[in-house]
Amino acid sequence: MSDENIKKSADKIWQSLDKPDKFMGMIENADLMVVRILIARLGSTGSTGARFEALRDGAIAVLQSRLSANQTKALNSLNISTSFLAKVGICVAVIAVLVAIVQIIIALCIR
């Protein structure tokens, strides 16, 4: 998303600030950069009214949820890769054992 599109999206969501249900619904589907901009616009905790603080906390919760989901996807991918590498390691170990057995048999036959 370009900077201009991000700003337009943030402005569009900002206009729904007077309708908290709509605001939160739009934030849940927004790009992460848009959510960050809206959190910044809502001000810091304690500097605005309770309504803005609640919306800010909601936006932060959405951001944390989405970031956690992204982290979970990354960890699942790492888990799959680790499982595959473990299987490859087991196959290599089995082949190494078979080669060692063949070497012992050859050594015994040559004697």
Q: Band the pLDDT of 91: cuts 50, 70, 90.
A: very high
pLDDT at 73: 95
| Single-letter amino acid code for the residue at 52 | F
Name the percent of the chain in helix, strand, coil, to the closest 5. 85, 0, 15
- pLDDT tens readout for residues 6-30: 888 888 888 888 888 888 888 888 8
Q: What is the pTM of this model?
A: 0.61
Distance CA 106, CA 48 (A): 83
Q: Band the pLDDT of 46: cuts 50, 70, 90.
A: low
